[in-house]
Structure 1
Amino acid sequence: MQQAGLILANRAYLDHESPRWADSPSSAGNGGLLAAVRPVIAPWDGRSGTTWIGAGLGRFDREWTDDRGFELIETPRGPLRHRRLYFGSSTWHGHYAEVSNSFLWPLFHLVRHDLPARTGYYPVPSTPGGPDWRSFVAVNTAFAEAAAEEREAPWCWIHDYQLSLVPDLLRERGFAGRIGFFLHIPFPDIETARPYLEPAGWAAFRKVVEGMLGADLIGFQTAADVDRFHRAALEMCGAAPLDGAVLHHGRRVRTAAFPVGIDIEDVLDVARKAPVSPRVTAARAAGLPLVVGLERGDFTKGIPERLAALTRAFRRGARFAYLGIAAPTREGVRAYDALEAAVDLALTHARAAAASAGGTFSHVRANVGWEDVVALQRDADVVFTSSLSDGQNLVPLQAAIAQSLRPPESRAVILTGRDAGVASTFSRFGFDGLVAIDPLDEPAMAEAFCEALAGLPGRVSDRFIQDIRRRDAHAWATGFLAVLEGPC
């Protein structure tokens, strides 16, 4: 399998936030996409290797690149040939804030329920106006044109919904290599989404589906996502179903589920050396089990619902120490305004209930270092995630691997939303530490949480850990590329 291809992502491998003269090189983050793709980066030797194309969003990016946006970045796998594409602020705002994150992001997470109606804070997908849609097309076109210049590349792997038009645009430009597209988030149920797709929204969504259909291989997180995509492609674009594919304009487009995995050794390396948090020490001293909720502060994560379940548990007399961390995300995107109000109201009730029950409660909105995140995942007694819908959600997998350093009898129970990809990918492990819950059923979620405090129905097991190892990031990335490069 050749690994010397193209990787296209909305974001760069890293952002340069320091000038060259400062002698403080930027470091790559630990986002899910970066961690998952890193294992297939082939070192650049001057003629071949991986080329990563992403947007130039760092304050000092232009100081580090040539006039075409190219630079070499040192990575754990060797030099990476990297190209940054630069966009004006209004173009990027229309592409990213308006179309990608005010329209597509809330739309794509409508996999089962009408979440705007059910929650009161989940935003209605905002149909993009003409200028914003033109910005979305312009950014996708720029990525396609940059990739088309790499005429010798054997494949191009395009990542996620922000670049969903690129596969078809790249094919139109005569790219000779294989084109792969992977959707890291869920794909929506067309019937659930339909009320928000008339008429301009329907047209925009149809263009997104058509764009994805330009790929040779489209990867999804779950088999359910594949099925939902097939229904949309058939109804919206006239595609015909085939075994493991759809037929579109006489061309067979393969589709399959490739659940994303994590970088096992990265988590273990950090978990082995990370110090115990003072919050953990305080909880242990008070004789309280530690419950952690670590998520981005996103309206898809079910944070108000989780807080309501915790409040119910406290009111039932449960005593525990809770630490919630919601990392700020997509700041400046108006779709998030209602979430903050819902979280604030839920926090008021949770704090009062914790005080009455003799527990402790803390919830902060902050970016926390990777070492601190892994340490909390390792030392928690319950890891509480509650996504209303999610592509995969890597937090439960990271937590299970970090917990593997503890004796089996003292490991945590991990709760996850039933519409997160991790719940279906690892559905066999409901008695091995991964419990799927319905975030919209508050009494049932509170009941499952109280059982988890007692280690029920089972703590993280070696069997669960081994399956996570088998499905790690390397297996995911190499598996996708093997299918992409295999026989059509």
Structure 2
Amino acid sequence: MGRLVIVSNRAPSVDGAGDSGGLVVALKDALSQQGGLWIGGAPKQSENPADELNFHQRPDFEIALFELEPELYRDYYLGYSNSVLWPALHGRVDLIDVQPHYSAAYRKVARRLARQIARIVTHDGMIWVHDYQLIPLAHELRKLGVTSRIGFFLHIPLPDLQTFKAIPEWQELAGCLADYDLLGLQTQRDLGHLINIFRHTLRGELRPNGNMGINGREVVLGCFPISIDVRGFRQLAVDGAARTAPPSVPRLIGVDRLDYSKGLPQRLLGYETFLSQNPEFCNKVGLLQIAPPTRDDVDAYKAIRSDLEHLAGRINGRFGTIEWTPVQYIHRALPRDDLAVLYRYSRVGLVTPLFDGMNLVAKEYVAAQDEADPGVLILSQFAGAAEEMSDALIINPHDPQDVADAIRTALQMPLAERRQRHGALYSHLEKHDVAHWSAAFLKRLLAIEKADAEWLERFARLEPVSRTG
């Protein structure tokens, strides 16, 4: 078979710095084994972008960067990707900002990138496209006659049909998704939503093998819950803890990008309810909330930052003393090594998203724990991770009382129960780590028949209206 080509909005660093986390850890081994190529956006956008990909060779795999002019990048990324798709796919249709030039930029980037990729891929290669920023890429590649196997993985959640319809181009997007050979989602919940979208948009027929028949071809569907390097992250926590003193009082910890999907105000309201109903815990427990900034240029993110700072200040003003600060709020990113130690020394991990594709913080928290004296994970029922991690304390983040009760239960949980819950969670994670995730997806993609000339000819004849019902 030909080489594996990964395509994402962002590429790994050319020098290999920062490979310790995220998607790179998941895919670098597969790329190294097959002499693969990772295509992603250049860190800085250019006023005069090159029409060709810019190649860089790392020791383990090759990187190719695509450039965009600043205005196009703004409308494609901050505009359509993060002001239309991100809120819609996270169920926040009230935050969608529809601008005609946003959708035009989104498709323009896909067309340009497809032309660049089509020049370098081979018939026997495999292309794996990642996430919502690049949904139309397979459609544009097929228009150019690319016959390689093309898979897509959505890292964020997929909402139900009615919410999906809030996207002005929802029918077109559904058609673009159907142009992939393999579609991977995080959860069975999202997979069910996709099947329903295909049924009502493209007259898709669910086949006995779980795939969809659409326009005379079979689109393979699969649930592939993403994970982390479990043993590697655990070792980071063990090594760091050996050099670090534990906190003076039991700690609750939350680590999230500052995003409205993460349920941060709801988390603080639950913590405030806990303190007001359990005064005996005042001065005896603390919450550390780490919330690095993200997409500060989008108004919705300015609002969530203001709300969080107001709540943290109110709680500290209401309950704090000269000796004790109830909420420590850090608005910047911390090194991965430091986070591993902070997780290990935290009695409770608070993961309370309102809607999340997976949430790897939940898995990092479990991996970092001392199995002899583990902490307790409190996990939102709306996180994708809740499908796998039923031994956590599952809560409704919209209910402050539910969050407060879970905090009290976690802090008072006997050691034997904490060990039992952690043991079950860790055992599952160890078997289903990030290597298992990437291998499962690629095995499924490799088993698919490559597109043939006859299908591409029929594809070229299909008008958009017939593709979208």
Query: Does structure 1 retain, via aligned residues, the 8 Å contact 2:252–2:285?
Result: yes
| Mapping of residues 107-186 of structure 1, within 5 Å | 107-110=88-91, 115=92, 124-127=95-98, 129-149=99-119, 150-186=121-157
Counterpart residue type for residue 105 of structure 1: W
3-state secondary structure, aligned to 2:353: coil
Task: State the 1:445 CA deviation.
Answer: 1.2
Task: State the 1:487 CA deviation.
Answer: 4.6
Partner of 1:8: 7
Gaps of 5+ in 2: 450-469
* Root-mean-square deviation over aligned CA pairs: 2.4
3-state secondary structure, aligned to 1:42: helix
Partner of 2:252: 291
Task: State the 1:98 CA deviation.
Answer: 0.8
% identical aligned pairs: 25
Query: Does structure 1 retain, via aligned residues, the 8 Å contact 2:87–2:96?
Result: yes
Partner of 2:395: 437
Partner of 2:55: 70
Aligned length: 437
Task: State the 1:156 CA deviation.
Answer: 0.5
Counterpart residue type for residue 311 of structure 2: A
Task: State the 1:219 CA deviation.
Answer: 0.3
Counterpart residue type for residue 35 of structure 2: G
Partner of 2:87: 106
Query: Does structure 2 retain, via aligned residues, the 8 Å contact 1:85–1:142?
Result: no
Cα distance in 2 between the residues matched to 1:421 and 1:143: 30
Does structure 1 residue 446 correspond to structure 2 residue 431?
no
Task: State the 1:276 CA deviation.
Answer: 6.8
Does structure 1 residue 36 correspond to structure 2 residue 29?
no
3-state secondary structure, aligned to 1:323: strand
Counterpart residue type for residue 377 of structure 2: I
Counterpart residue type for residue 95 of structure 2: V
User: Which of structure 1's runs of 4+ aligned residues deviate more than 6 A?
Assistant: none
Counterpart residue type for residue 156 of structure 1: I
| Change in CA separation of 1:487 and 1:70 when aligned onto 2, cut-off 3 Å | closer
3-state secondary structure, aligned to 2:194: helix
Query: Does structure 1 retain, via aligned residues, the 8 Å contact 2:376–2:422?
Result: no
3-state secondary structure, aligned to 1:6: strand
Counterpart residue type for residue 328 of structure 2: S
- Correspondent of 1:336 among 294, 301, 304: 301
Task: State the 1:312 CA deviation.
Answer: 1.0
Cα distance in 1 between the residues matched to 2:448 and 2:95: 42
Counterpart residue type for residue 37 of structure 1: L
Task: State the 1:277 CA deviation.
Answer: 8.6
Partner of 1:209: 174
Partner of 1:120: none
Cα distance in 2 between the residues matched to 1:366 and 1:455: 32
Counterpart residue type for residue 124 of structure 1: L
Give TM-score, length-normalised by structure 1.
Answer: 0.84
| Change in CA separation of 1:220 and 1:148 when aligned onto 2, cut-off 3 Å | same
3-state secondary structure, aligned to 1:28: coil
Deviations 1:185-233 (A, max 9, x none): 1001122454xx2xxx33x122222111111110000111011011112
Does structure 1 residue 476 correspond to structure 2 residue 434?
no
| Mapping of residues 38-437 of structure 1, within 5 Å | 38-42=28-32, 49-58=35-44, 68-74=53-59, 78=60, 80-110=61-91, 115=92, 124-127=95-98, 129-149=99-119, 150-194=121-165, 197=166, 201-202=167-168, 204-243=169-208, 244-275=210-241, 281=246, 283-284=247-248, 288-316=249-277, 317=279, 318=281, 319-355=284-320, 360-403=326-369, 406-408=370-372, 410-427=373-390, 429=391, 434-437=392-395
| Change in CA separation of 1:256 and 1:275 when aligned onto 2, cut-off 3 Å | same
Give TM-score, length-normalised by structure 2.
Answer: 0.87
Task: State the 1:424 CA deviation.
Answer: 0.7
Cα distance in 2 between the residues matched to 1:338 and 1:26: 35
| Change in CA separation of 1:441 and 1:131 when aligned onto 2, cut-off 3 Å | same
Query: Does structure 1 retain, via aligned residues, the 8 Å contact 2:270–2:401?
Result: yes
Partner of 2:459: none
Task: State the 1:346 CA deviation.
Answer: 1.5
Cα distance in 2 between the residues matched to 1:436 and 1:35: 28
Query: Does structure 1 retain, via aligned residues, the 8 Å contact 2:56–2:64?
Result: yes
Deviations 1:304-350 (A, max 9, x none): 00011111111121330211100111221223122122212221222
Cα distance in 2 between the residues matched to 1:276 and 1:322: 23
